[in-house]
Amino acid sequence: MAAKRKKSITYYLLYVVLYLHALLPFQLLYVMSDILYWLAYHLVRYRRVHVRRNLKNAFPHKTIREVRKIEKAFYHHLCDYFVESVKMLHMTEKEAHERMKFEHTEIIDQWTKEGKSCLLCLGHYANWEWVTSIGLHLSPRAELGLIYKRLHSEAFDQLYLKIRSHFGAKPIEMKSAFRKMIRLKNEGKTMTVGFLADQRPSRKQDQYWTTFLNQDTPVQTGMGKIGAHLGMPVAYLDIIKIKRGYYTGKIEVLSTNASMERDYDIMERYMRKLEETVLKEPAYYLWSHNRWKFKKIEAVQ
């Protein structure tokens, strides 16, 4: 569980400014998003080099015109994602129910009924922050946890923790996730744990290499190891953007017992599912992340 930390003046200033923005209706927030798009894409050119390179490598057969079309759509969506995330500081349960729907939640409810904790894996796709509202759709017994990687900025880290816990999700720092899940099992408690498992691992971390979006890609193995060690079921969340500000998450079973899988099978299956999601609507993936920072040949040296 995320330990309580002293909040700085910077945090409170950020919180007040963003909370005032969160009070605005969605229509005005999307006007702001359109302005942010123009600033980020045309003026500041935020990470344009990374985005263009990632898209060209992922889609080598697309023309530059097709790549630019995805690129612009991505920046539009990224700005929507930002204002939508801010809105969570003042988002009602009614709005969450209307704008972020989930299908096949009975899968998780059944596991909870059987006394099993489970892993719910997804990617940095569409609006992954709103996925924390899934607790509103699950059985009251299904406590929701969210694995997170601590941000470098203390103020922003604490702010995102507040956003992500708005609907009752309990943030769990990545470094303590394994210990937390063992403790829950020993106490006979269950939890549905959300895992954003597509982040780039460091060179020092144990990693598995696969092909993802036409490129050699290192994969973090923590999710698979936790699931295998504790014999947990694993589900994938396929997020679909219906239209601006409206999403649906479809739950699919990846494994009913990760301990029965071979090494890395869970991670490979997850990456294939995520790839299917991205290829359907590529603009909604987080292309600004430097996902392919280092190559396979560098990692083995």
Domain span at residue 61? 9-299
Using CA atoms, how far apart are residues 280 and 274, in angstroms rounded to an integer? 10
pLDDT score recorded for residue 119: 96
**Is 151 within a domain?**
yes
**Is 225 within a domain?**
yes
Residue 38 is given by DSSP the state I
159, 162, 164, 170 alpha-carbon torsion, rounded to 10°: 130
**Is 38 within a domain?**
yes
pLDDT score recorded for residue 4: 60
**Is 3 within a domain?**
no
pLDDT score recorded for residue 7: 83
C-beta neighbour count of 290 within 10 angstroms: 12
Split into its structural domains, the chain has a count of: 1
Using CA atoms, how far apart are residues 88 and 231, in angstroms rounded to an integer? 34
Using CA atoms, how far apart are residues 197 and 199, in angstroms rounded to an integer? 6
Question: To which H or E segment does residue 34 belong?
Answer: helix 26-37
**Is 2 within a domain?**
no
Structure tokens at 278: 């991205």
- Beta partners for residue 215, in sequence order: 212
pLDDT score recorded for residue 175: 84
pLDDT score recorded for residue 298: 55
Residue 274 in contact with residue 125, Cβ under 8 Å?
Answer: yes
- Per-position pLDDT tens, the chain of length 301: 444 667 889 989 999 999 999 999 999 999 999 999 999 999 999 999 999 999 999 999 999 999 999 999 999 999 999 999 999 999 999 999 999 999 999 999 999 999 999 999 999 999 999 999 999 999 877 789 999 888 888 888 899 899 999 998 999 988 888 898 899 888 888 999 999 999 888 777 777 899 999 999 999 898 999 999 999 999 999 999 999 999 999 999 999 999 999 889 999 999 999 999 999 999 999 999 999 987 876 554 4
Using CA atoms, how far apart are residues 121 and 219, in angstroms rounded to an integer? 13
**Is 110 within a domain?**
yes
